């Protein structure tokens, strides 16, 4: 059974370490920035979002867990920002550790989250998924999420023939 619980301080530090590196890779890939610039941006945005660590106002950071044979296993992280006025949340990060992927736990966690949010009076979940993250997109789509737009960017001073090749 998948559940959520608040992060402890040491878990939050591990989350930030994973998140900054992962987010920097996504920024570099999707926004065509150098790895150094992407890492700087990822650090800056993370520090801005969490001025008080795991207790930062307006942010919810949770450990995703499952209970097996009576023992809790930490299987991933969930970070979202609630909007009480719009009765919605925005998922900033939903991450399962690699050894727990492909087992249906992502869908189970989404269903658990939906139930929790409905009980709390929320009406909508929003998120962004990287275009090249097919597995995550599959989990979201199989759980009823639909595409609402396409993110685009342009490196200033570039033309289509001067862009780096993939």
CATH class of 2-148: alpha beta
How far apart are the C-alpha atoms of 162 and 83, rounded to whole Å?
A: 41
Percent of the chain with pLDDT over 90: 77
The strand pair at 88-96 and 124-127 is best described as parallel
The mean of the pLDDT values for the chain is: 92
The SS3 of residue 161 is helix
The residues, any chain, with a CB within 8 Å of residue 76's CB and separated by 6 or more, are: 63, 64, 94, 95, 96, 97, 100, 105, 109
List pLDDT tens digits, range 1-54: 999 999 999 999 999 999 999 999 999 988 889 999 999 999 999 999 999 999
List pLDDT tens digits, range 60-72: 999 999 998 899 9
The SS3 of residue 121 is coil
**DSSP annotation of 85:** T
């Amino acid at each position: 059974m998948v559940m959520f619980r608040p992060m402890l301080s040491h878990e939050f530090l591990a989350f930030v370490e994973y998140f900054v590196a992962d987010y920097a890779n996504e920024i570099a890939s999707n926004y065509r920035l150098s790895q150094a610039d992407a890492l700087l941006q990822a650090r800056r945005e993370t520090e801005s979002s969490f001025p008080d660590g795991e207790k930062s106002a307006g942010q919810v950071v949770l450990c995703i867990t499952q209970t097996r044979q009576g023992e809790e296993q930490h299987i991933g992280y969930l970070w979202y920002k609630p909007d009480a006025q719009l009765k919605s949340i925005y998922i900033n990060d939903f991450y399962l550790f690699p050894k727990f992927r492909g087992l249906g736990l992502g869908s189970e966690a989404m269903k658990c989250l939906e139930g929790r949010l409905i009980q709390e009076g929320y009406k909508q979940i929003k998120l962004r998924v990287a275009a090249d993250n097919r597995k995550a997109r599959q989990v979201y789509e199989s759980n009823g999420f639909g595409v609402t737009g396409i993110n685009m960017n342009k490196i200033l001073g570039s033309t289509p023939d001067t862009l780096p090749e993939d």
